[in-house]
Amino acid sequence: EVERATTLLRSIAKGNRIIWVETSEDNLVFQGLLSHEDFGREITGRVVKDTFRYGKYFYIELEGAGKMPLLHFGMTGMLHVRGQPTLQYRTKIRESPDIWPPKFMKFILHIEGKTPGTVTELAFSDARRLGRVRLAMNPGQEPPISELGFDPIVSMPPLWEFQTLVLKRSCPIKALLLDQSFSAGVGNYLADEILYQAKVHPEQRCNTLQQTQVEALHREVADVCRIAVEANADDDKYPSHWIFKHRWGKGKKVKQSMMLPSGEPATVKWITVGGRTSAFVAEVQCLPHKGKIETITEDESDLTPLSSDHDNNPAASPRKRKVRISTLQFSALNCILQVKSENTRRKSIAIAHTGEPHREKRPRLKRH
């Protein structure tokens, strides 16, 4: 979605002047600025040289001295061009392009049109206010972009470097893929797609991955992101064998089924990993483990502050840690629970008949 927005902005604004800027007050979205009016004053009258994207951020390079806009969509941010329908990666009920300004507008750029005397209006909107608008002197070399990991489209590392980055971590692989300091730009549904295509379970720990799994992940990180960008984030153009086509049925009575390459049916399942909902196919993505596993909640993480994409993600729920218990331990716990349950039952019966709790009679000891 961000690559599509960057391309759209480039096609409209490159080489043209920003005539004026409308802004709406929002202290959450506009960050590092004295006011939303300062944003408009800083970029008004300057010519757009180009637009660039890195990870989930994109910025506008402007001619002349001064700072440049650095933008982040968050979860619901998007660009609108007046008179044109708004593209979204999933089909939803869309607003009419005749409604202007769009709801939740944060700013509107009035840009010189390609034809002399015409003006193109481009708006940035954000319903949930999780997007960010900043100004930076050198956006590509300053935080937050300078703190991001590799971009699968811009700077995919070679296999040996990728393998080193992955195997030194002990977190679940799904959590690592969402860590923006590891792979910038990979979102939740792309991470699920990468893992499905690589046949890796979302909960598998990074340092337990086999060589063939790492190679598959390296290949699919590059391929899945490339295909998504080439499709212009239009879900109708995504391959039919992607799990994306089947992952949106959580909570519905009719489960989303798909076919395995062998022709056998498979059902998409959901779990929570790294605080995010994860879709996977158990027949394809197997989690290697031994013995019985009990899940407990514990606040543990070896990810960086960028892991949860703190600028645009609601507070993540506590991570879940797997604890292994032996069959003998499990049997002992089960016996204890059964004894407690039987004692509770006896007390209930005694109260029902006599109004007093049942008490076990202890044998009296005789003195000799």
311 band by pLDDT with thresholds 50, 70 and 90: very low
pLDDT 10s digits, 282-296: 889 998 864 333 333
The pTM of this model reads: 0.74
Query: 150 forms bridges with which residues in the sheet?
Result: 183
Residue 182 backbone phi and psi in degrees, to 5: -100, -60
* More confident call, 158 vs 325: 158
| Better pLDDT: 262 or 147 | 147
As a whole number, mean pLDDT of residues 54-76 equals: 96
Strands, E assignment, the chain? 18-23, 48-54, 57-62, 68-72, 77-81, 105-112, 119-126, 132-136, 257-259, 265-273, 276-281, 292-297, 320-325
**C-alpha closest to that of 172 among 208, 221, 197, 216:** 208
Average pLDDT over residues 19-25: 96
Torsions phi, psi for 334 (to 5 deg): -65, -40
Q: Report, as an integer, the average pLDDT of 168-176.
A: 97
User: Of the candidates 313, 307, 244, which has an alpha carbon nearest to the alpha carbon of residue 280?
Assistant: 244
**pLDDT the model gives residue 309:** 43
For residue 324, which phi and psi values (nearest 5 degrees)? -90, 135
